[in-house]
């Protein structure tokens, strides 16, 4: 008996849900998939001279999102954005996404006679919108009833053999750059938290205008796929990482993996409008790229329409000193990993 590779547990009895998922995934396009949802496995045909890049990200209610704060579309969008950003950091091209959802039953059902769209349907709206933007077909998944809402995303990407951007290639003398602006996601979350504290707040009532004014960086971050591909294609970066935990934490990851130190200059940091220095350093979830390049590499001020800013340099690691320091008018201060710990 053929079982589709996106299945519902027996007895949950909502074949409509499965059909909905399958139909909507199909509409997002097949891309490089040879076979999508409907068989035991998806089939992906690789191009010659490419390696697979695979990443997985778990989003859990209360930890990575809050059902009482975040619009369902944004939760779906962000779940996929996290994975796409990891592919961007490797310089990989997205090929397929796999989604496993665990949801309380009421989130899969119409909320009332008047509101026939389910939470899950809106979640898929957000996820599939970003999937379409990045030509990433939803190629399979699983669905189960769960006391806690959670979404696990697996992303498959492809990158030219030995072209992937690693965390481990930075060398003393390299220059450090970031794409876009920093701290916007944390500032947006702060704004959302304030709104959510008001009486009568309902996440699904958040208007697009409101989101655009200050919360877009948090609710709809832009994975830097095109910029990662640009860097990998040209072999322009010696090391790269996406800023998921915050500059302070992610820069320390590069230092650790490359066995180097780093100096950043406070005055050079591209701080997002409305964000503080602290949010730019430790905020997390900006999903910009941090990368190192040889001083002789020609890095433009803009890659595929996104600003690129030099923020510091890679130095020799000295055992007795902190790996990363920040230089400012106050002198040199250690830049300890203080990345955002989600809702802990």
Residues that bind Mg ion (CB under 5 A): 86, 242, 244
Are 267 and 328 in contact by the 8 Å Cβ rule? The answer is yes
Shortest distance in whole angstroms from residue 343 CB to Mg ion: 19
Are 172 and 290 in contact by the 8 Å Cβ rule? The answer is no
Shortest distance in whole angstroms from residue 250 CB to Mg ion: 8
Q: Which is nearer to Mg ion, 86 or 152 (CB)?
A: 86
Alpha carbons 54 and 36: distance in angstroms, whole number: 17
Q: Which is nearer to Mg ion, 166 or 327 (CB)?
A: 166
Are 26 and 36 in contact by the 8 Å Cβ rule? The answer is yes
Shortest distance in whole angstroms from residue 98 CB to Mg ion: 18
Helix axes 119-133, 72-90, angle to 10 degrees: 30
Shortest distance in whole angstroms from residue 269 CB to Mg ion: 20
Q: Which is nearer to Mg ion, 5 or 55 (CB)?
A: 55
Q: Which is nearer to Mg ion, 17 or 182 (CB)?
A: 182
DSSP at 168: S
Are 187 and 283 in contact by the 8 Å Cβ rule? The answer is yes
Q: Which is nearer to Mg ion, 244 or 249 (CB)?
A: 244
Are 257 and 239 in contact by the 8 Å Cβ rule? The answer is yes
Question: For the chain, how long is the longest CA-to-CA vector?
Answer: 70
Shortest distance in whole angstroms from residue 157 CB to Mg ion: 12
Q: Which is nearer to Mg ion, 72 or 228 (CB)?
A: 228
Q: Which residues contact 112 (CB under 8 A, 6 or more apart)?
A: none
Residues forming beta bridges with residue 326, ordered by sequence position: 264, 333
φ, ψ of residue 264 to 5 degrees: the values are -115, 155
Shortest distance in whole angstroms from residue 90 CB to Mg ion: 9
């Amino acid at each position: 008996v053929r079982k589709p590779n996106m299945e519902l547990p027996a007895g949950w009895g909502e074949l409509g849900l499965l059909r909905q998922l399958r139909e909507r995934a199909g509409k997002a396009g097949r891309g490089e998939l040879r076979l999508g949802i409907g068989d035991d496995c998806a089939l992906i045909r690789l191009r010659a001279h490419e390696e697979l890049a695979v990443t997985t990200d778990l989003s859990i209610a209360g930890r990575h999102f809050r059902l009482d704060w975040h619009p369902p579309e944004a939760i779906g969008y962000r779940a996929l954005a996290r994975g796409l950003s990891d592919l961007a950091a490797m310089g990989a091209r997205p090929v397929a996404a796999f989604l496993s959802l665990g949801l309380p039953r009421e989130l899969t059902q119409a909320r009332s006679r008047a509101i026939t769209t389910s939470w899950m349907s809106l979640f898929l709206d957000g996820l599939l919108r970003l999937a379409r933007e990045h030509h990433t077909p939803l190629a399979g998944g699983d669905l189960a009833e769960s006391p806690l809402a959670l979404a696990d995303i697996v992303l498959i990407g492809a990158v030219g053999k030995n072209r992937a951007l690693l965390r481990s290639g930075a060398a003393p003398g390299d220059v450090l750059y970031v794409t876009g602006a920093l701290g916007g996601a944390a500032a947006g979350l702060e704004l959302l938290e304030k709104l959510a504290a008001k009486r009568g707040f309902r996440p699904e009532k958040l208007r697009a205008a409101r989101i655009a004014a200050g919360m877009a960086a948090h609710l709809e971050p832009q994975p830097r796929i095109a910029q990662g591909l640009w860097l990998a294609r040209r072999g322009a970066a010696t090391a790269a990482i996406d800023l998921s935990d915050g500059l302070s934490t992610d820069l320390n990851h590069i230092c650790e993996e490359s066995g180097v130190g780093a100096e950043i200059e406070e005055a050079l940091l591209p701080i997002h409008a409305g964000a503080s220095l602290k949010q730019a350093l430790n905020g997390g979830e900006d999903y910009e790229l941090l990368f190192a390049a040889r001083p002789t590499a020609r890095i433009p001020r803009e890659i595929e329409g996104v600003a690129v800013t030099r923020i510091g340099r890679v130095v020799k690691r000295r055992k007795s000193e902190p790996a990363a320091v920040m230089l400012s008018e106050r002198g040199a201060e250690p830049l300890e990993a203080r990345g955002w710990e989600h809702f802990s």
